[in-house]
Amino acid sequence: MTSPGTSTFEGGDVLSLENVCAAYGPYRALFDVSFRVPAGGIVALVGSNGAGKSTVARTVTGLVTATSGRIVFSGHDVTTMPAFRIARLGMAHVVEGRGVFSSLTVEENLTLAFRQRAGRKLLAGNLERAYTAFPILGERRRQMAGNLSGGQQRLLSLAKVLVVPPHVLVADELSLGLAPVVVDTVYEGLREINRNGTALIVVEQQVSRVLQLAGWAVVLDRGAVAYEGEPAGAGEAVEAIMSQREEAASSHI
Ligand SMILES: Nc1ncnc2c1ncn2[C@@H]1O[C@H](COP(=O)(O)OP(=O)(O)O)[C@@H](O)[C@H]1O
Ligand SMILES: [Mg+2]
């Protein structure tokens, strides 16, 4: 199935990373990271705190520039492209935290996002689509975003990208600090976005839930890919890393 949000490039991959290295000044954070995101697919990017997940997210969205390697998005080499140009090609990034303007209302948040991406003419229809997908946002459209619960703020940040579907959405630790039942709602929002044709990179530290959602998994450890493959094998890879860590820690006592 194809939809306006789906594009097929390089054998069906909408995004590919080849031997990507990245650094913060002298600190090297990513080492030869390679993986692919199929058009319309869902890739889980998991690993412990500090493994480099957010750095991968920032590198593909252009907030951090790769020091070597290649990133291809929708048929364009975006390795050194600035973030705003990558965004215009159809890449959306929900950063860690909530990603909403807390002193604006729900509707003002949505209006800003939709005007920016789709223009004024389509605004009314786009707002309607957002409220249909997330009725709770419709009920609270006049409320300050800062007064929403954590889960509702995450839904608002998803609604901002849902309505004008990007080719790829990078969602960084959406479930952080949320109650499990709220995480379910947020994940349902991700599924809805994916059904509209958007490929997802879902970054999580907690593996169980994201592995149910994803068709492919990448496990990062100390800035490098430790596992890439079926989600079913990722849990084991994560456990192996954890037990290596524990052994290393106990040998230092
Ligand atoms: N802005 C930054 N400046 C310097 N080092 C950073 C910065 N952001 C992250 N790092 C370091 O890069 C490594 C990877 O971090 P990050 O990508 O945030 O990991 P994760 O998202 O998996 O927790 C960590 O060692 C972290 O301390
Ligand atoms: Mg992170």
User: Rounded distance, CA 156 to CA 127, Å?
Assistant: 12
Ligand 1 closest atom vs CA 47: 22
Protein residue closest via CA to atom 6 of ligand 1: 24
229 Cα: distance to centroid of ligand 1 (angstroms): 24
Q: CATH number of the domain that 42 lies in? A: 3.40.50.300
In terms of Cβ atoms closer than 10 Å to its own Cβ (0-12, 13-18, 19+), residue 180 is exposed
Among all ligands shown, which has an atom nearest to the Cα of 45?
Answer: 1
Q: Quick check: is 60 in a domain?
A: yes
Among all ligands shown, which has an atom nearest to the Cα of 46?
Answer: 1
Domain ranges, residue 52: 13-98+167-250
Q: Quick check: is 161 in a domain?
A: no
Give residue 88's pLDDT.
82
225 Cα: distance to centroid of ligand 1 (angstroms): 15
In terms of Cβ atoms closer than 10 Å to its own Cβ (0-12, 13-18, 19+), residue 26 is exposed
Give residue 113's pLDDT.
85
Q: Quick check: is 72 in a domain?
A: yes
Give residue 98's pLDDT.
65
Q: Quick check: is 171 in a domain?
A: yes
- Tens of pLDDT along 35-49? 999 999 999 999 999
Q: Quick check: is 52 in a domain?
A: yes
Q: Is the shortest distance between the CB of 59 and ligand 1 below 6 Å?
A: no
Q: In what order do the strands lie in the sheet with 13-24?
A: 27-38, 13-24, 68-73, 76-77
Q: Quick check: is 140 in a domain?
A: no
What residues have their beta carbon closer than 5 A to ion ligand 2?
Answer: 53-54
Number of domains in the chain: 1
Q: Quick check: is 108 in a domain?
A: no
Per-residue pLDDT of the chain (253 residues; tens, 9 = 90+): 333 333 444 468 999 999 999 999 999 999 999 999 999 999 999 999 999 999 999 999 999 999 999 999 999 999 999 998 898 889 988 887 667 899 999 999 999 888 877 778 889 999 999 999 889 999 999 999 999 998 899 889 888 887 778 999 999 998 888 888 888 888 988 998 899 899 999 999 888 889 999 999 999 999 999 999 999 999 999 999 989 888 888 887 6
Q: Quick check: is 182 in a domain?
A: yes
- Answer whether 30's CB lies under 8 Å from 56's CB: yes
Max Cα distance, the chain (Å): 65
- Which of 21, 28, 33, 54 for a ligand 1 pocket mutation test, highest count of atoms within 8 Å of Cβ? 54
Among all ligands shown, which has an atom nearest to the Cα of 47?
Answer: 1
